[in-house]
């Protein structure tokens, strides 16, 4: 017999679940959100992976480490001299922790303000939309829901031949908490996490070696962007080794090192590192999410099957965020949370999956939206390309930061913009105008006829649109 009844019970308080829960409550639905996250001190926290060990702490360290390297190496060019620059790693980590603390508490405040009830512990979906809640104190309760939103998120994939020991072989979570700068840092997987966290520790002084199984760097990016970024990042000092298949790892506690054996086309190699970060993808956290006679379809990886409106195979049960198909991105999960909340409230909301921006927060940043050149070739879509390099941008020159370019792809016949790919400083901000252009179904001529402030980096988007039409002004 259920003890409490709700219009909506959300399982998971990450960016998908907490945003969905707030939107439900805003729409007048009686809403509970169950989340089991506890920090290393056992304190319960909302915000899931993103706020606690993902987007926010990684961006805090990226920002701090960039400032450190910039002050050390680049201020002189601007005629700014300073004394010796010292790293206070404990101070840098403390700032990151304060930021995480403030933001997670902020969500707690939002829950209170919107009257979302927060249940601290494990949630499990049972038949008839009943949810079993087990508190951290072991006490159990059953919640009856008219609707259930599953937003359990994901966790890092472990390497069969190198399981996490949380000291020498760590996931991204461990790599956000090193107490010393590792002299030699091994990174397995040159994907998004590998590049971001590899960059942080390289800037702080580690010698970083990245072992990537695929023969193509950033195979999910536009090839021209991927090739450019490989050149730049290698020049920065990231030792990126492609086609590297790791076959064994061994921790030597006496030496405080971990050895890694890998194979590539030149044979077998062995490397020793002070720490090893394994970032070879993430998997939905759906183990133990359901019990009893429920028919929730999932694939063998634990990804919950949903349609375009995030409806699962069980009526009244929705799933959103990293636990369902699509990119594992915070903003994608949040938009799904909003869509589901609004649909429960009777609105006809949807998510445009074709215009979700992606960003890799290295320096330069890599950002894209829509289709890339390989996709268009494969699909046989006729297209025009416009590329504008930042070396021709007055603002980039004033910033002494001219790396990268903007690349626009438009349909050759209709001129409709199909994709935008940017590699540059602040590409994460520049991509937003391209997302809006795609969302509004703009043509490159629309961007070309829009007035952009001078001198700004965003003028490069304008120039790329002119280049797509065949008449750029500031490139020969
Ligand atoms: P999560 O954030 O994983 O939240 C799920 C929550 O549900 C967790 O709190 C979990 O404890 C709880 N939970 C799970 N099962 C249960 C249960 N049965 N009962 C109770 N609670 C449960 N994305 C970006 O868009 N931008 C970035 O810059 C970015 N940087 C990242 C950096 C790193 C290092 C990592 C690891 C990820 C990053 N991501 C980034 C990805 C982003 O964090 C995820 O896409 C996002 O957090 C997914 O949101 P979610 O709500 O689906 O799941
Ligand atoms: P990823 O999918 O970005 O990269 C994993 C990389 O590891 C791939 O290049 C893959 O080829 C490689 N790989 C897989 N198995 C391997 C093996 N055995 N040996 C060597 N290489 C191997 O996954 P990552 O970096 O773990 O990130 C997980 C998710 O988190 C991403 O999908 C991303 O969406 C999200 N994320 C997003 C961020 C952002 O938006 N800026 C930042 C960090 C994470």
d(CA 384, CA 370): 14
Q: Which ligand is nearest to the CA of 196?
A: 2
d(CA 30, CA 224): 50
d(CA 220, CA 86): 37
Ligand 1 binding pocket mutation candidate from 152, 294, 326, 362 (most atoms within 8 A of CB): 152
Q: Are 259 and 276 in contact (CB under 8 A)?
A: no
Assess whether the C-beta atom of 427 lies below 6 angstroms from ligand 2: no
Structure tokens at 69: 């390297």
Assess whether the C-beta atom of 190 lies below 6 angstroms from ligand 2: yes
d(CA 74, CA 72): 6
Assess whether the C-beta atom of 361 lies below 6 angstroms from ligand 2: yes
What region, left, alpha or beta, does residue 398 occupy, with left being phi > 0 and alpha being psi -120 to 50 degrees? alpha
Question: Strand, helix or coil at 160?
Answer: coil
The interface pTM score, or ipTM, of the predicted complex is 0.98
Q: Are 12 and 284 in contact (CB under 8 A)?
A: no
Which residues line ligand 1 at a C-beta cut-off of 6 Å? 11-17, 34-37, 48-50, 54-55, 58, 122-123, 151-154, 172, 193, 285, 289, 321-322, 328-331, 333
The alpha carbon of 246 and the centre of ligand 1 are apart by a number of angstroms equal to: 27
Q: What is the pLDDT along the chain (476 residues), one digit of tens a residue?
A: 557 999 999 999 999 999 999 999 999 999 999 999 999 999 999 999 999 999 999 999 999 999 999 999 999 999 999 999 999 999 999 999 999 999 999 999 999 999 999 999 999 999 999 999 999 999 999 999 999 999 999 999 999 999 999 999 999 999 999 999 999 999 999 999 999 999 999 999 999 999 999 999 999 999 999 999 999 999 999 999 999 999 999 999 999 999 999 999 999 999 999 999 999 999 999 999 999 888 899 999 999 999 999 999 999 999 999 999 999 999 999 999 999 999 999 999 999 999 999 999 999 999 999 999 999 999 999 999 999 999 999 999 999 999 999 999 999 999 999 999 999 999 999 999 999 999 999 999 999 999 999 999 999 999 999 999 999 999 88
Q: Are 37 and 129 in contact (CB under 8 A)?
A: no
Active site residue 454: yes
CATH number of 358-469: 3.30.390.30
For the packed helices 330-344 and 17-26, what is the interaxial angle rounded to 10 degrees?
Answer: 30
Q: Which residues are annotated as a binding site for FAD?
A: 59, 123, 322, 328-331
Residue ID of nearest Cα to ligand 1 atom 29:
55
239-241 β-sheet, strand order: 169-170, 275-278, 184-188, 207-211, 239-241
Structure tokens at 202: 């390289």
The alpha carbon of 257 and the centre of ligand 2 are apart by a number of angstroms equal to: 24
Q: Are 21 and 320 in contact (CB under 8 A)?
A: no
Q: Are 304 and 323 in contact (CB under 8 A)?
A: yes
CATH number of 169-280: 3.50.50.60
Answer whether the bond into residue 364 is a cis peptide, omega within 30°. yes
Which CATH fold would you assign to the domain 4-155+283-345? FAD/NAD(P)-binding domain (3.50.50)
Answer whether the bond into residue 208 is a cis peptide, omega within 30°. no
What are the angstrom distances between the C-alpha of 230 and each of 191, 226, 234?
12, 6, 6
Q: Which part of the chain has CATH 3.50.50.60?
A: 4-155+283-345, 169-280
Closest CA to 321 of 21, 5, 7: 21
Q: Are 35 and 48 in contact (CB under 8 A)?
A: yes
Q: Which part of the chain has CATH 3.30.390.30?
A: 358-469
Give burial (CB, 10 Å; 0-12/13-18/19+) of 145: buried
Assess whether the C-beta atom of 211 lies below 6 angstroms from ligand 2: yes
């Amino acid at each position: 017999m259920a003890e409490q009844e709700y219009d909506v019970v959300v399982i998971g308080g990450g960016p998908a679940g907490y945003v969905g829960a707030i939107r439900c409550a805003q729409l007048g639905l009686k809403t509970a959100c169950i989340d089991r996250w506890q920090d290393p001190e056992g304190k319960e926290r909302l915000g899931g992976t993103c706020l606690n060990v993902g987007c926010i702490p990684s961006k805090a360290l990226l920002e701090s480490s960039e400032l450190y390297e910039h002050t050390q190496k680049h201020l002189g060019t601007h005629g700014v001299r300073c004394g010796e620059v010292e790293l206070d790693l404990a101070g840098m980590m403390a700032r990151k922790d304060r930021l995480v603390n403030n933001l997670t508490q902020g969500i707690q405040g939002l829950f209170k303000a919107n009257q979302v009830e927060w249940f601290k512990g494990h949630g499990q979906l049972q038949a008839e939309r009943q949810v079993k809640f087990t508190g951290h104190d072991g006490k159990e309760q059953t919640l009856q829901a008219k609707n259930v939103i599953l937003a359990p998120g994901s966790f890092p994939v472990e390497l069969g031949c190198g399981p996490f020991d949380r000291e020498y072989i760590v996931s991204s979570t461990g790599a956000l908490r090193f107490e010393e700068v590792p002299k030699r840092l091994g990174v397995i997987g040159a994907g998004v996490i590998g590049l971001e966290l590899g960059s942080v520790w390289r800037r702080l002084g580690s010698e970083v070696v990245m072992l990537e199984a695929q023969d193509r760097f950033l195979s999910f990016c536009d090839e021209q962007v991927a090739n450019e970024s490989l050149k730049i990042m290698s020049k920065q000092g990231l030792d990126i080794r492609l086609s590297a298949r790791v076959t064994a790892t061994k921790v030597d506690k006496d030496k405080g090192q971990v050895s890694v054996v890998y194979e590539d086309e030149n044979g077998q190699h062995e490397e020793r590192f002070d720490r090893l970060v394994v970032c070879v993808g993430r998997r939905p956290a759906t183990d133990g999410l359901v019990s009893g006679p429920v028919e929730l379809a999932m694939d063998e990886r634990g990804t919950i099957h949903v349609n375009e409106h995030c409806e699962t195979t069980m009526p009244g049960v929705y799933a959103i965020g990293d636990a369902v198909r699509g990119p594992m991105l915070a903003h994608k999960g949040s938009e799904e949370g909003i869509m589901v909340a609004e649909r429960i409230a009777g609105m006809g909301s949807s998510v445009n999956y074709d215009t979700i921006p992606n960003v890799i927060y290295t320096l330069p940043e890599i950002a894209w939206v829509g289709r890339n050149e390989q996709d268009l070739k494969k699909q046989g879509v006729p297209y025009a390309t416009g590329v504008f390099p930042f070396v021709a941008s007055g603002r980039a020159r004033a910033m002494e930061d001219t790396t990268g370019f903007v690349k626009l792809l438009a349909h050759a016949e209709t001129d409709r913009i199909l994709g935008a790919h940017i590699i540059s400083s602040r590409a994460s901000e520049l991509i937003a105008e391209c997302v809006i252009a795609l969302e509004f179904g703009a043509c490159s001529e629309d961007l070309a006829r829009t007035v952009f402030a001078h001198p700004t980096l965003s003028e490069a988007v304008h120039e790329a649109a002119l280049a797509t039409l065949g008449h750029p002004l500031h490139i020969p």
